[in-house]
C-alpha cells in the first residue's frame, strides 16, 4: 500500500460524517479516496484538507446506486493506491414526507432511497471485497441510523432502508469472515446540514432538533466528528469486532433518566 497507515475509500466523503472521517483518517496517516455524487466542490475541499496532513487523497465521482460506478470507483482507488484496507459506506439519501401519509410512500421513491442506502453499500462491498480480503486487515463500516431501530424518521422509505442496511451489515460480516470485518455505526441526529440539504425546511429541522435535545439522556446532539471517531474505532482499532452495530445517539434511545423515587 502507498498509504503509510492504510488506504480508505469513503463514499459520500465530501460532506458530513464522510468528510469528518476522511480528515480523521488523514490525521492518522491514511491515504483517502473520496467518492461523491453531486458535491464536487465539497469533495475537492475535503481532499485538500486531507493532503495538508501529508497524505495522498483523490476525488472520484460516482453514483453508488449504479453498479458500473461502484466498480469504476473501486478500480480507480486500487489503481492509485495499490489496494484498499477500509471501505466506509457513508453515502446516503432520504425522502422527506409526512410519515403517516402512506400515499406519498410510493414504490419509485422507496426504490430511489434503497438504491443509495442499501444497494449502494451492497455493490460497493461486492466490488471492494477482493481487495479488502487481500489487505490482511480489511474492514467495512456502514453508516446507518437509529431510524432503522425505532421505525420512525423522515419517511417510511428511509426507515426501511436503514433497517435493511443493518441486516446487510450482519449478512456481509458472515459472508466475508474471517478476512474482512463488517460493522455499522448507528447515529442519532447529527449536527450537520444533512436534513436541510435533503429538503427539510429550516423551521421544521429546528423543531426536530429541539425534540431530540429534549428526549436524549445527554441533552445534546452528536457532531460529525464524534461519529467519525466511532467509524475509525470500528473500522481500524476494534480488530476483534464484526457483525455489530454501534449506536452513537447521545442517549436518545436510552431516554431521559427517571426521576429518583421519594
Q: So which residues are the catalytic ones?
A: 158
Give the span between the Cα atoms of 195 and 193, in whole angstroms.
Answer: 6
Closest residue by Cα to residue 31 from 55, 62, 54: 55
Sign for the CA dihedral angle at 23, 147, 94, 37 comes to positive
Give the span between the Cα atoms of 210 and 230, in whole angstroms.
Answer: 24
Q: Cell numbers at residue 239, please?
A: 480488530
Q: Describe the strand order of the beta sheet including 31-36 as a list of residue ranges.
A: 57-61, 31-36, 7-11, 86-89, 138-143, 180-187, 245-248
Give the span between the Cα atoms of 255 and 198, in whole angstroms.
Answer: 27
Q: Residues for the chain: how many in total?
A: 262
- Cell 495499490 appears where? 82
C-beta of residue 232 within 8 angstroms of C-beta of residue 183:
no
Give the span between the Cα atoms of 6 and 31, in whole angstroms.
Answer: 6
Amino acid at each position: 500500500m502507498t498509504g503509510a497507515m492504510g488506504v480508505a475509500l469513503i463514499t459520500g466523503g465530501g460532506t458530513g460524517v464522510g468528510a469528518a472521517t476522511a480528515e480523521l483518517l488523514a490525521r492518522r496517516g491514511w491515504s483517502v479516496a473520496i467518492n461523491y455524487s453531486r458535491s464536487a466542490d465539497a469533495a475537492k475541499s475535503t481532499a485538500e484538507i486531507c493532503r495538508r496532513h501529508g497524505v495522498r487523497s483523490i476525488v472520484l465521482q460516482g453514483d453508488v446506486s449504479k453498479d458500473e460506478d461502484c466498480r469504476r470507483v473501486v478500480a480507480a482507488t486500487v489503481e492509485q493506491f495499490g489496494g484498499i484496507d477500509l471501505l466506509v459506506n457513508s453515502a446516503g439519501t432520504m425522502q422527506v414526507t409526512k410519515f403517516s401519509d402512506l400515499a406519498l410512500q410510493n414504490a419509485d421513491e422507496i426504490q430511489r432511497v434503497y438504491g443509495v442506502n442499501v444497494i449502494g453499500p451492497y455493490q460497493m462491498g461486492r466490488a471492494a471485497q477482493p481487495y479488502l480480503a487481500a489487505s490482511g486487515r480489511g474492514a467495512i463500516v456502514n453508516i446507518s441510523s437509529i431510524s432503522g431501530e425505532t421505525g420512525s424518521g423522515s419517511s417510511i422509505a428511509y426507515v426501511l432502508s436503514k433497517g435493511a442496511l443493518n441486516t446487510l451489515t450482519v449478512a456481509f460480516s458472515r459472508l466475508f469472515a474471517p478476512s474482512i470485518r463488517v460493522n455499522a455505526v448507528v447515529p442519532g441526529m447529527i449536527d450537520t446540514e444533512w436534513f436541510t440539504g435533503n429538503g427539510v425546511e429550516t423551521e421544521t429541522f429546528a423543531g426536530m432538533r429541539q425534540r431530540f435535545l429534549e428526549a436524549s439522556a445527554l441533552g445534546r446532539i452528536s457532531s460529525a466528528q464524534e461519529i467519525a471517531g466511532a467509524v475509525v474505532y470500528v473500522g481500524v482499532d476494534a480488530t476483534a469486532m464484526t457483525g455489530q452495530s454501534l449506536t452513537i445517539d447521545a442517549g436518545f434511545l436510552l431516554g431521559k433518566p427517571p426521576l429518583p423515587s421519594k
